[in-house]
């Protein structure tokens, strides 16, 4: 079995009901930044920490289920994606056992891919709905970080990856932010954190000032995946 049925049950008390009848439309990937899976599970199941996730995948590929998918796990915190907040009510959270600086293991990636196939199909979530914690909280969060292989997921239709046709135009901060906003980033957090989050996911080798290649990549993503946003509240 490959789906959540294969999970080891490790219930966390840290969850509630999804608000306003919201259903998962996103999958958020995290790293635990802990030494091992046991330490992370202890923390995610301790009432005093008030954090959790739906799943944790250990380095050896073992899958733990902490919170039922129809419940609201507490993994996202404050943030906004595509102009919408309360990411916890809109998402399924998957923690990857990783200290933050190491490569993600093959058994862990293989398990994650099986999980994503299953979750995306069951909830009708599109590949662009699979996002990083850092995507919607760029000022606060850096996970799953530059070692995570987003391209590998995208090649299987489990995430998205930029495929720009041209080398890109002259770097321009406001044009970059406009495209980043169209793709989903909360650009009110500022240019520097948004560029850092974008690069951690799509151009982890890039350093220094905005480049034409950043422009080409974000504009390609914006063109392919821009969504209508809710009208601003009066």
| Interface with Zn ion (CB under 5 A), residue from 65, 84, 90, 133 | 133
Nearer to Zn ion, 135 or 143 (CB): 143
Nearer to Zn ion, 29 or 154 (CB): 29
Give whichever of 24 and 214 is closer to Zn ion, judged by the CB atom: 24
Per-residue x/- track, 175-204, Zn ion (CB under 5 A): ------------------------------
Which one of residues 135, 143, 214, 219 is an interface residue with Zn ion (CB under 5 A)? 143
Strands of the sheet containing 130-132, edge to edge, are 8-9, 63-65, 55-57, 91-96, 26-31, 130-132
Active site residue 95: yes
Stretch that binds Zn ion, among 54-62, 125-133, 173-181, 224-232 (CB under 5 A): 125-133
**CA–CA gap between residue 52 and residue 71 (Å, rounded):** 11
What whole-number distance in Å separates Cα of residue 60 and Cα of residue 51? 23
Shortest distance (Å) from residue 17 CB to Zn ion:
22
Out of 25, 69, 95, 219, which one is annotated catalytic? Answer: 95
Q: How far is the CB of 141 from Zn ion (least distance, A)?
A: 5
Residues 213 and 203 sit within 8 Å (Cβ to Cβ):
yes
Scanning 34-42, 81-89, 120-128, 135-143 for contacts with Zn ion by CB under 5 A, the matching segment is 135-143
What string marks each residue from 50 to 89 as x (binds Zn ion by CB under 5 A) or -? ----------------------------------------
Alpha-carbon gap, residue 28 to 148, rounded angstroms = 13
Contact with Zn ion (CB under 5 A) among 18, 26, 29, 30: 30
Buried b (16+ CB within 10 A) or exposed e, 131-164: bbbbbbbbbebbbbbbebebeebbeeebbbbbeb
As a whole number of angstroms, the distance between CA 165 and CA 156 comes to: 21
- Phi, psi values for residue 229, rounded to 5°: -100, 155
Q: Which residues pair with 154 in a beta bridge?
A: none
Spatial separation of the C-alpha atoms in residues 212 and 175, rounded to whole Å: 11
Which residues are the active-site residues?
95
What is the binding site for Zn ion (CB under 5 A)? 30, 133, 143
């Amino acid at each position: 079995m490959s789906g959540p049925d294969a999970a080891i049950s490790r219930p966390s008390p840290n969850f509630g009901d999804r608000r306003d009848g919201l259903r998962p439309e996103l999958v958020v990937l995290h790293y635990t930044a802990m030494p091992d899976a046991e330490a992370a599970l202890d923390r995610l199941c301790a009432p005093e920490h008030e954090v959790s996730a739906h799943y944790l995948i250990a380095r050896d590929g073992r899958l733990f289920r902490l919170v039922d998918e129809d419940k609201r796990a507490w993994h996202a915190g404050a943030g906004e994606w595509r102009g919408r907040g309360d990411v916890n009510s809109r998402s399924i959270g998957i923690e990857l056992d990783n200290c933050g600086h190491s490569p993600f293991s093959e058994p862990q990636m293989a398990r994650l891919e099986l999980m994503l196939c299953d979750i995306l199909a069951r909830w009708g979530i599109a590949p662009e709905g699979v996002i990083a914690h850092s995507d919607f909280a760029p000022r606060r969060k850096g996970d799953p970080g530059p070692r995570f292989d987003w391209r590998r997921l995208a090649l299987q239709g489990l995430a998205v990856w930029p495929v720009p046709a041209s080398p890109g135009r002259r770097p321009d901060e406001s044009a970059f932010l406009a495209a980043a906003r169209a793709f989903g980033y909360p650009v009110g957090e500022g240019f520097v954190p948004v560029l850092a989050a974008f690069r951690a996911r799509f151009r982890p080798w890039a350093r220094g000032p905005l480049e034409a290649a950043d422009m080409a990549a974000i504009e390609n993503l914006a063109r392919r995946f821009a969504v209508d946003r809710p009208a601003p509240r009066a």
